[in-house]
Structures are given as C-alpha cells and as structure tokens.
C-alpha cells in the first residue's frame, strides 16, 4: 500500500509541474488556445486519474473488510463523461480552446502513469525486491 500511495504522490507532483508549465505557456506565449486546450485536457485527465485511484482504494477496502456490495464499479462512465465534457468545451469554444490540445492533454496523465510504472518496475528489478509495484 505504501508504494501505491507513493506512486500516486509522484504522479500528482509531476502533473502539477506540467500544469504550472502549461499555465505559464498560456500566460506568456501567443498560442493561448493550444495551451488552454492542453491545460483543460490535463486537468480533466488528472481528475480522472485521482478518481480512478479513489475507486480502486474503495474497492480494495471493500474486499479486505469483507463488505460485499453487489455493484462495485471503477467509475468508467464518470471518466468518459468528464472527457466528453472537455471535448464539448473545446467544440463549443474553438476560438479559445484547441481541440487537438485538449485531446493531447487527456493523454498526458496516462503517459505519466505509464512512465512512472516503468520506472518503479526498473527500480524494483535493480534492487532485487519482490512484491507490489
């Protein structure tokens, strides 16, 4: 569980830095619509990542306590709805928010998560530890 929390914290820190850089890019450069789209997509992607972590933690607690609810979901429809909302905002305000930037932004946090997972796996293999990633 400790490594799970550490991974979520690492992903949050990296995402926070990226959001700050995108905000500075929006404020400083003339490519405001692209940076705003990237900012919107990354923020929604970060929310989806935190929501997934929350739901996984909730299901894990449910399993370990023996509480068997009939419908335990991971919240896929909520994550789809938030991504759709970001796309609708980009479509509704094309002069302010780039659709391409929004789509790329939606992919940033999953790529960070994937890279962080590979790094954690590499560290685990070099240290010779066994157990959870």
CA distance 74 to 72: 7
* pLDDT higher at 69 or 77: 77
Phi-psi region of 90 (alpha: psi -120 to 50; beta: other; left: phi over 0): alpha
Query: Residue 31 carries which DSSP code?
Result: -
Percent of the chain predicted with pLDDT > 90: 64
Per DSSP (E only), the strands in the chain are none
Residue 133: strand, helix, or coil: coil
Average pLDDT, the chain: 89
Give the pLDDT score at 73.
Answer: 75
Question: Which burial class, exposed, middle or buried, applies to 71 when counting CB atoms under 10 A from its CB (0-12, 13-18, 19+)?
Answer: exposed
Can you give the residue ranges of every domain in the chain?
Answer: 2-123
pTM of the predicted protein model: 0.85
* pLDDT higher at 92 or 133: 92
pLDDT, average across residues 107-123: 91
Give the residue among 13, 38, 14 at the shortest CA–CA distance from 26: 38
Percent of the chain predicted with pLDDT > 70: 90
Phi-psi region of 72 (alpha: psi -120 to 50; beta: other; left: phi over 0): beta
CA distance 55 to 39: 24
pLDDT band of 72, cuts 50, 70, 90: low
Give the residue among 39, 43, 17 at the shortest CA–CA distance from 29: 39
């Amino acid at each position: 569980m400790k490594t799970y929390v550490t991974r979520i914290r690492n992903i949050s820190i990296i995402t926070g830095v990226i959001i700050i850089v995108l905000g500075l890019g929006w404020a400083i450069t003339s490519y405001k619509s692209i940076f705003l789209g990237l900012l919107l997509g990354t923020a929604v992607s970060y929310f989806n990542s935190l929501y997934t972590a929350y739901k996984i933690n909730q299901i894990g607690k449910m399993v370990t306590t023996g509480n068997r609810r009939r419908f335990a979901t991971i919240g896929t429809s909520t994550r789809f709805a938030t991504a759709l909302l970001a796309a609708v905002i980009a479509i509704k305000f094309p002069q302010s928010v780039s659709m391409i930037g929004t789509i790329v932004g939606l992919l940033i946090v999953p790529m960070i998560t994937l890279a962080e997972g590979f790094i954690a796996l590499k560290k685990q293999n070099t240290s010779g530890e066994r157990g959870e990633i």
